[in-house]
Amino acid sequence: MRANPEALAVLHRLAQARLQGCAGPELVRQLQDTLAFAGYTFWASISLDFTDEHYHLGCSHCATRLAIVIGDYGRYSAVRDHDDGDIHRVPLAPSKPADLTRIGGWMHGIAATGGDTTLANGLTYLFGRVTCSRCGSRFDLAEWLEAEYGPGQPVDPIVPRTDRSA
């Protein structure tokens, strides 16, 4: 059974309207609902808990498996060693809030408007750049996460579309 695009658009607008006045964990949940109804199922599915968030992905150049940490323990990429923990740590390079565009800019704007500084700050790192500690290559974290794990197209044009082909 396929989802009805008109129904999803209505649900998206209702979820988006509920964003105003939300704070803390409720803001994150409502943001995830809004993203899901807009068709951004990848962005809706990640926890966005920037007190202790971890992502795992292969380097875009050498395929070294990297652990990306954004939270109270730091903001870095590293190679995760079973015995020694995170080794070869390299700080993440955050985006400037004014430079965030598309879905990252929209999410950051919601977080900033809602007064959630932890979420807003974490998003600057999520939509920032990673340096591989093995080969030194740099790449956009969010774009690479979405390319590795993200599904298809958004269904509602109210939320800005993300297009990696440009």
Q: Is residue 163 part of a domain?
A: no
Q: What pLDDT shows up at residue 5?
A: 72
Q: Is residue 134 part of a domain?
A: yes
Q: Is residue 145 part of a domain?
A: yes
First to last CA, the chain: 32
The enclosing H or E element of 127 equals none
Q: Would you call 84 helix, strand, or coil by DSSP?
A: coil
Candidates 133, 166, 159; CA nearest to 42 is: 159
Q: Is residue 161 part of a domain?
A: no
Is 48:145 a contact under the CB 8 Å cutoff? no
Task: List per-residue pLDDT tens for the chain, 166 residues long.
Answer: 456 777 777 777 777 777 788 878 888 888 898 888 888 888 888 888 888 888 888 988 898 999 999 999 899 999 987 778 778 999 999 999 999 988 899 999 999 988 899 999 999 999 999 999 899 999 999 998 888 876 654 544 444 444 443 3
Q: Is residue 29 part of a domain?
A: yes
Q: Is residue 111 part of a domain?
A: yes
Q: What pLDDT shows up at residue 1?
A: 45
Q: What pLDDT shows up at residue 46?
A: 87
How many folded domains does the chain comprise? 1
Q: What pLDDT shows up at residue 165?
A: 35
Q: What pLDDT shows up at residue 21?
A: 80
Q: Is residue 27 part of a domain?
A: yes
Q: Which domain holds residue 103?
A: 5-149
Q: Is residue 164 part of a domain?
A: no
